[in-house]
Amino acid sequence: MAAGKWKLFTTIHRPEKLCIWHAGRSRKQACGDHCTAKSDAGVHRHRRRMAIRQIECTELGHTVPFGVMAKNMDTGFTVWWNALRLKSNSPDVRCKALASLDATRGPRALELLLVALVDEDVQVRCAAIAKLELVRDEQATEALVGALDDPESVVRQAAAAVLGRRGDASALPRLARLLGDGNPGLRASAARALRSLGWRPTTNEEQALFDVALGRARAAALAGQEGVNALVTELGNETGFTRRAAAEALEEVNDPRTTQPLLAALQDEDCTVRVSAIHALGKNGSAEVVPPLVMMFRDSEPCVRVAAAEVLARRVDPSLASEFLTLLQDRHFEVRLKAVQFLGQFCGGELAQALLPLLGDPDSDVRQATAQALGTVGDPAAIEAWVLTLTDEERAVRQAAETALDRLAPDWGSSEAALRAAPQLEAALNDQRGWVRSAAAQALARLRAPTSCAESAS
C-alpha cells in the first residue's frame, strides 16, 4: 500500500482492538486496497463474510482493524517513515533510518538506498552501502561499482568489501584497477575482494600489486623489477609495519629505481623502517648512498646507528675511518663494538691511540674486540695495556690480550712496556677475587726483571 494512504491510528467500537485509518488521499475517494474479511469481527463497512477471498475495497474513507492490515502496514508505513527520516538534517537520524530500513522490501526501499548513496555525509553513504549488500539486484551492483569512485576513501573501501562479499564477478575488472590506487586501505580492501571472488592476476606486475596489497611484500619481491613500483608505493603506507616490510623486500631487488625511495625512507618516523632502509641500501654499491648513511651515525636511535655502522663497515673503505672514530664514544656498546671491529682492519699509530682506552670499556665484547684490533694495528705502545688486560674479569678478553702479545712481541715479558705494568700487577695480588690474583700471578711470572736478565746474560 502506498505510504501516503496511512494517515493516523485510532480505536473504534472495541477499545481493545487497534485500528488504522484506511482511505485514499481524500475522504471522497474509494481506498481501492485489497482487504480480507475472515469473520464477522471488524468494522461495519467490512463485515461482509467473504471467507478468505480478497476483494477490492470500494468504500470511502473509513477505519479497519489493525490486524487486517498489519502486513501491509509493516511494509508501507515503515518505508514511508524511513523516507521521512532520510530527509532529516541530522546525519545520525538518517543513518538510523537506513539501519531500520528493510532493503529487500521492494523498489521503493532500493530507491531510498540509491538516494542515500549520494548523501553529503560519509557515514550515511557507508550505511547505504551496507544495506545494498542484501539487495540481489543488478541496479544495486551498478550502484556499488559506482561508489568505488566516491571522493572519500572510507566509502570506496566499504563498497569494495561489499562487492567482494556479494560474489558478483561483474565487478572484477573495476576492482582489479583499484590495486594501483594511491590509498593503501583501498588497495587492501580491493585485494581481499578479488581474492574472495577467485580472481587471478594475468601479469607479474599485477601479481606484485596483488601480493603487496595483501601484505605479502616478500612475495612481491619475487617479481623482480616488475614488483618495484608496487613495493616503492608501499613505502608510503600509513602503517610502519607495512613500510618496514616493503623496505625489507626491496633489499632483495637489484634496481636503480629503488635508490631514491630508500634514501627518503631514511627519514621515516619509525626507526625500524630506517633500519630496514639502511640494510636495503647496503646492497647498493654506488657512492651516492655513502653520505646519507654516514649521517645515520647521528641518529637518536641506537639500532639505527648500529645498522649504519654495520652496512658501511662492509665497504672496508679507509676514508671512512675518521667517521668511525667518532663512534668510539657512542653511548651504546654495539655501536662502539662495530666501530672497533671496523678500525681494527687498518694499521696506524693514531688508530692505536684511539683504541687503547677501550681496553677498559664497561662491555666485555668491546674490550675483547679492542684487544684483537690492537693486535692487528700492531703498535708496541699497546703492550703495557695488553699486560694489564691479562687480569680482565672475562676469560675471553684475557685470551685475546695474550694472543695479541704473543703475536706482536713473543718476548714481551722482557720489554720495558710490560715491566711498567708490574706495579699494578703486584697490587692485583691483593685483590679479593681469587681469579684476579691468579691471573696477576701468571702475568708476573712471565715478566723478567732487569736484574734477572743481566744475570742470565753474564
- Whether 5 has a pLDDT exceeding 70, the answer reads no
Q: What is the 3-state secondary structure (H, E, C) of 111-145?
A: HHHHHHCCCCCHHHHHHHHHHHCCCCCHHHHHHHH
What's the rounded Cα separation, in Å, for the pair 333 and 330? 7
> For residue 3, what are the CA distances in angstroms to 8, 69, 72, 75, 221?
12, 13, 10, 9, 59
Residues 61-94 pLDDT 10s: 554 444 444 444 445 556 666 676 777 888 888 8
Cα three-residue angle 43-48-51, rounded to 5 degrees: 115
Do the Cβ atoms of 355 and 374 come closer than 8 Å?
Answer: yes
At residue 21, the 3 state secondary structure works out as strand
What is the band of 415 on the pLDDT scale with cuts at 50, 70, 90? confident
DSSP string, 37-103: --SS-S-GGG----TT--EE----SEEEEHHHHHHHHHHHHHHHHHHHHTT-S-HHHHHHHHHH--T
What's the rounded Cα separation, in Å, for the pair 270 and 299? 12
Q: Which residue has the higher pLDDT, 54 or 281?
A: 281
Element (H, E) at 6: strand 6-10
Instruction: Calculate the CA 306 to chain-centre distance.
Output: 23
What's the rounded Cα separation, in Å, for the pair 19 and 43? 9
DSSP string, 248-290: HHHTT---GGGHHHHHHHTT-SSHHHHHHHHHHHTT---GGGH
> For residue 192, what are the CA distances in angstroms to 172, 207, 243?
12, 13, 19
Do the Cβ atoms of 23 and 31 come closer than 8 Å?
Answer: yes
- Whether 273 has a pLDDT exceeding 90, the answer reads yes
Paired strand residues for 258: none
Buried b (16+ CB within 10 A) or exposed e, 75-106: bbbbbbebbebbeeeeeeebbbbbeebebeee
Closest CA relative to residue 243, chosen from 251, 256, 232: 232
Percentages of the chain per state (helix, strand, coil), in multiples of 5: 65, 5, 30
Mean pLDDT over 345-366 rounds to 86
At residue 18, the 3 state secondary structure works out as coil
- Whether 42 has a pLDDT exceeding 50, the answer reads no
What's the rounded Cα separation, in Å, for the pair 75 and 97? 14
pLDDT at 378: 66
Single pTM value for the model: 0.70
pLDDT at 122: 92
Q: Which pairs with CB-CB distance under 8 Å and at least 24 residues apart come from 288-291?
A: 288/259, 289/259, 289/263, 290/315, 290/320
Cα three-residue angle 409-399-402, rounded to 5 degrees: 15
What's the rounded Cα separation, in Å, for the pair 264 and 457? 70
Closest CA relative to residue 2, chosen from 59, 83, 86, 65: 83
Mean pLDDT over 199-222 rounds to 92
Q: Which residue has the higher pLDDT, 46 or 182?
A: 182
| Least reliable range by pLDDT among 51-55, 149-153, 164-168, 234-238 | 51-55
Residues 240-267 pLDDT 10s: 999 999 999 999 998 999 999 999 999 9
> For residue 388, what are the CA distances in angstroms to 15, 371, 407, 425?
109, 11, 17, 7
Q: For the chain, what is the mean pLDDT?
A: 79
Q: Which residues contact 255 (CB under 8 A, 6 or more apart)?
A: 224, 225, 228
Q: Which residue has the higher pLDDT, 206 or 74?
A: 206
DSSP string, 419-449: HHTHHHHHHHTT-SSHHHHHHHHHHHHT---
Q: Which domains does the chain have, with CATH numbers?
A: 3-76 (no CATH), 87-200 (1.25.10.10), 356-458 (1.25.10)
